[in-house]
Structure 1
Amino acid sequence: MDPDANEEELWENICIIHPDISDENRSFLKECLKATRNVPIRPWTETDILVRSDRAGIHGLLDKYNATTGEYTLTRCTNAPRIGCWPDDALRAAAFLICLEETCTTKVDGIYIEYIPSGIVRYFKPTPKDRRMVLQLIHKVRDIDKGIFPEKPLNPPCFRCSFLERCQQNKPRRLSFLFKK
């Protein structure tokens, strides 16, 4: 197949899906196509599969499923890290597997992550730590929804936190305020 014709067809499809997309993104498409040119295409039978976990109270759309092999795939538009997967992708994969455990009848141990701009596909099997972090995040989000301000972590990233001003107001006070009369 002519790669330029394939690119043109893909760009037309992208424009239908995202009518407001900027033409500047076309160069990103070219880079991705070049990166994936020698990567075997991972087949799929379904896309955008709705999965949910009523126990955890989460749901989402999983990118790809191959019914023949029973494999699930997350597609990312970011470059791959040198090894493994990005921490956010580890959490995303763990959350999807929590949902898949309730959605599917078969056990799913891991998930493939496609890093399109790098042309790399990696298999990731979440650890119990990844699952625990997902549950902690779910609880934090629920608290925030209730209006509860999250506790400051042990090593807070204050320099990039959008709540810095609010947090400064809740800074620990000197103990001397207890002894004032």
Structure 2
Amino acid sequence: MAVFPRFFRGIILADQERHVTISDLVRVHACPVRFYYEKNEPVTESDRYAICKQLSYHLGHPLEADAIWDEVLAVRPKTDPALREFLDTCIASCNKPGWTPAAQTDVTVVSKKHGIAGMIDRVAEDGTFSIVRAAGAMPFGTYAADRLRIAGIAFCLEEMTGKEVEGGHVEYIPDGISRYHAVQPRDRRQLLATLHRLRAIHRGEAPSHPLNAPCNRCTYKVRCEESGGHRLSELL
């Protein structure tokens, strides 16, 4: 694992608008058609993620529920008060030894070669990195979306440091689980394929549904079914 230089903490991306975000790549991977419909809409984080994110700043240190909740409300004053119980559940899951304190948080990374940018949630003193998730962990392994996130960060870090990045941790805060994912060649292939698909959408090409698209719980299901074989741009 490459040691993460501290000077990247304050990196400024003058041409950041020309880079696609790792978050957008994850959305395209989930369903490029839904991304097409929503590509001009702002993406906001959920209250649950905001809680998990705020808690993550304290990992490796005593977790004081009242102090963390005050920080959550300072960041998101309209957070549902009922989610205070969710915070307590997360703290109960995470309040155990083994967490590594962060030396840096919210670190921007970029790959000019691939035109992608993203953010690392936590970087430890030894250079290992973690991303924070508000979902529960799988019985084993990591979600496809999280593997794509780790691969995207690895691409960026390898270009920035000139060293191979073997993988990173995914921290599933509600379950208090940190799971390491070693980046595989299939992850890198998937990321590049998704990047090509995203750029095609930006060029105005109509995306097609992936075989495992989550159509049953999608608000665009009827709209997609009515689109038939037409270009989506003709329907908007």
Q: Size of the alignment, in residue pairs?
A: 165
Q: 1:11 aligns with which of 50, 64, 69?
A: 69
Partner of 2:131: 74
The one-letter code of the counterpart of 1:128 is P
Superposed, 1:7-46 pairs within 5 Å as 7-46=65-104
The one-letter code of the counterpart of 1:76 is R
CA distance in 2 between partners of 1:16 and 1:128 (Å) = 42
Partner of 2:148: 91
CA distance in 2 between partners of 1:157 and 1:70 (Å) = 36
CA distance in 1 between partners of 2:202 and 2:195 (Å) = 11
Of the two, which has the highest radius of gyration? 1
Q: Offset of 1:147 from its aligned partner?
A: 1.0
The one-letter code of the counterpart of 2:112 is D
Partner of 2:54: none
CA distance in 1 between partners of 2:104 and 2:147 (Å) = 22
Superposed, 1:96-107 pairs within 5 Å as 96-107=153-164
* Contact 1:113-1:124 within 8 A present in 2 as well: yes
* Contact 2:63-2:91 within 8 A present in 1 as well: no
Q: Bigger shift: 129-138 or 17-26?
A: 17-26
CA distance in 1 between partners of 2:185 and 2:142 (Å) = 16
Name which structure has the greater RCO, CA cutoff 8 Å, separation 6+: 2
1:61 aligns with 2:119: yes
Gaps of at least 5 residues in structure 1 are: 172-181
Partner of 2:199: 142
What TM-score does the superposition give when structure 1 sets the normalisation length?
Answer: 0.82
CA distance in 2 between partners of 1:45 and 1:74 (Å) = 14
Q: Secondary structure at the match of 2:64?
A: helix
Q: Secondary structure at the match of 2:70?
A: helix
The one-letter code of the counterpart of 2:186 is K
User: Which 4+ runs in 1 deviate beyond 3 A?
Assistant: 155-162
Gaps of at least 5 residues in structure 2 are: 1-61, 232-236
Q: Bigger shift: 113-122 or 155-164?
A: 155-164
* Contact 2:69-2:84 within 8 A present in 1 as well: yes
Q: Offset of 1:159 from its aligned partner?
A: 4.1
What TM-score does the superposition give when structure 2 sets the normalisation length?
Answer: 0.64
Q: Offset of 1:119 from its aligned partner?
A: 0.9
Q: Secondary structure at the match of 1:52?
A: strand
Identity percentage of aligned residues: 30
Q: Offset of 1:107 from its aligned partner?
A: 2.6
Show CA shifts across 1:80-115 (max 9, x none): 000010111011111111111112243321101111
